Amino acid sequence: MAVDLFLRTVSCAYGVILCCLLFFEGSSPLISFFCFSNFGLSCVSYKLFVVPLGGHGVDGAAYNYNASIECLAEPQRVQYKGGKLRNPKFELGLDGWTSYAGASLEVRRTFSGNNFMVAYNRSQNNETFSQQVYMDKGKYYTFSAWVRVSEGSETTVSAVITTPGNSMRVIASGNAYPGCWTMLKGGFQPEFSLLTDLHFLCYNKTAEFWVDNVSLKEFNQTEWLVHQQRAIRRVRKRKILLQITDKLARPVRGVKVNIKFRKPLFHVGCGVTDTFLQYKKYQEWFLQKGFTASVFTNQMKWYWTESRQGIENYTVPDAMFQFFKDHGIAIRGHTVLWDKPKMNQDWLHRMTPKELLATAVRRLASVMARYLNDIFEWDVVNENLHFHFFEDKIGPQASGMRYICRSTQVYKKV
Ligand SMILES: *[C@@H]1O[C@H](CO)[C@@H](O)[C@H](O)[C@H]1NC(C)=O
Ligand SMILES: *[C@@H]1O[C@H](CO)[C@@H](O)[C@H](O)[C@H]1NC(C)=O
Ligand SMILES: *[C@@H]1O[C@H](CO)[C@@H](O)[C@H](O)[C@H]1NC(C)=O
Ligand SMILES: *[C@@H]1O[C@H](CO)[C@@H](O)[C@H](O)[C@H]1NC(C)=O
Ligand SMILES: *[C@@H]1O[C@H](CO)[C@@H](O)[C@H](O)[C@H]1NC(C)=O
Ligand SMILES: *[C@@H]1O[C@H](CO)[C@@H](O)[C@H](O)[C@H]1NC(C)=O
Ligand SMILES: *[C@@H]1O[C@H](CO)[C@@H](O)[C@H](O)[C@H]1NC(C)=O
């Protein structure tokens, strides 16, 4: 799923009218043209895209990048042969697994002879099943499983562990559906060694919860470093050929060349919250790290800048923005829209589809125009793989729609 957005403003002498043309892939636009006036913008064009999850071929001990966000009739094999889990494919029935919080369990078999686990007779989210695992401080854990519910509509499902303080840590989360299988994938790095019941939560308290091909793979620090180095080699490094020639373009032999690494071509940084503004030590640490970019965890979000309809307040993001700008740190924009229902303001929930669409485009113009020159990349729709606020309200293509914002200088003051 790629969302690309093209925003261009031209001629800025007197102000600009920013017009957005919305395209829905494969269907006609709901509303095709919006205009907003903004003053004091300069001329720049942006291109944004969200890169889809990609699978990579990997060998034995290598990290398995495979992930799927689709609901599949025939899902993939178990990853890492289940890692440190016992009986991860339920070929040995219930062996290694126990009922959690009182669910009834049984292992069923498909026509093709594949076993999977069923938790039924449920009345609480946590009535599922578990396996006791030991997790080591300093090691890295990657988790995956295939899940499904017997009936109803889509349901949130999580894999969790309980920490010694008795708090729950979600290590993977996703949606389960009736009729097809979805993948949960996640990971965890414990701050302490612990013996814990790895179990599931299924937010339909009564539906049967089905699971298959569970994996918990442990990596030590050396192995993890190897994954990182492999990824660096594959993604970041390129071969280059330098040819030194004389004035007549003849290759010169035996020349000594010194190459100095000055800065990376890509951004490296970390996210910050508004508390960043209050802590000088934090600021100093950030600047000393040699980071080239940052992103604000929440402060550019819609609920932050316009909690009450029609009253925008950019005080905090502006201040954060100014700090980084003054220090030459690039900012990644996060986020124009967010598909998580409860993170959208109540007043947005009350809107008709048409109003919501128009308001979403106004929001787009507001936040993007404000930081137009200085943000190198935007998240346009956040968390749209497992949430669908805008899809539910506007239509199934809401996230896939391509915003193509064209600016035309429609008027000119004389
Ligand atoms: C990743 O998924 C693809 C497609 O399902 C499969 O062919 C491949 O074997 C998988 N790779 C690993 C390492 O599991
Ligand atoms: C689990 O993996 C087996 C192959 O080992 C495959 O046939 C089966 O469809 C998988 N089941 C699920 C639900 O992923
Ligand atoms: C399961 O959830 C119920 C309801 O929230 C709670 O009372 C119970 O203690 C939980 N059981 C376990 C084993 O976590
Ligand atoms: C369902 O659960 C109740 C108590 O939680 C138990 O008494 C009953 O035997 C269970 N039924 C089945 C079919 O497992
Ligand atoms: C939850 O499961 C029950 C079956 O136990 C089903 O009737 C109901 O529709 C499901 N609810 C949702 C919201 O999916
Ligand atoms: C990490 O695991 C590798 C095997 O993959 C092993 O050879 C190595 O000794 C381990 N390193 C540490 C520090 O445990
Ligand atoms: C805008 O937000 C700032 C920071 O939260 C606050 O101090 C200020 O009072 C707000 N301005 C208005 C007009 O509400």
Which residue stretches of the chain have pLDDT < 70?
Answer: 1-60, 400-414
Rg (CA), the chain: 26
**Ligand 3 site, CB within 6 A:** 101, 124, 126
pLDDT value for 259: 84
Q: Whose CA is nearest to atom 8 of ligand 3?
A: 101
Q: Whose CA is nearest to atom 10 of ligand 7?
A: 313
Which pLDDT tens digit goes with each residue over 94-140? 999 999 999 999 999 999 999 999 999 999 999 999 999 999 999 99
Q: What sign does the CA torsion over 188, 378, 303, 398 have?
A: negative
pLDDT value for 238: 83
The CA distance from 292 to 327, in Å, is 10
The full DSSP string for 58-71 is --TTS-------S-
pLDDT value for 401: 65
**pTM of the predicted structure, to 2 decimals:** 0.72
Which pLDDT tens digit goes with each residue over 128-168? 999 999 999 999 999 999 999 999 999 999 999 998 888 89
Q: 61-66 long-range contacts, Cβ below 8 Å, gap at least 24?
A: 61/223, 61/226, 62/227, 62/230, 63/142, 63/219, 63/227, 63/230, 63/231, 64/142, 64/144, 64/217
CB-ligand 6 contact for 222 (6 Å cutoff): yes
Instruction: State the distance from the centre of ligand 6 to the C-alpha of 222, rounded, in angstroms.
Output: 6
Instruction: State the distance from the centre of ligand 7 to the C-alpha of 305, rounded, in angstroms.
Output: 10
Q: What is the DSSP letter of 197?
A: E
C-beta separation of 10 from 43 below 8 A:
yes
Ligand found nearest the CA of 89: 2
Q: Whose CA is nearest to atom 2 of ligand 2?
A: 77
The full DSSP string for 258-292 is -------SS--EEEE-GGGGT-HHHHHHHHHTT--
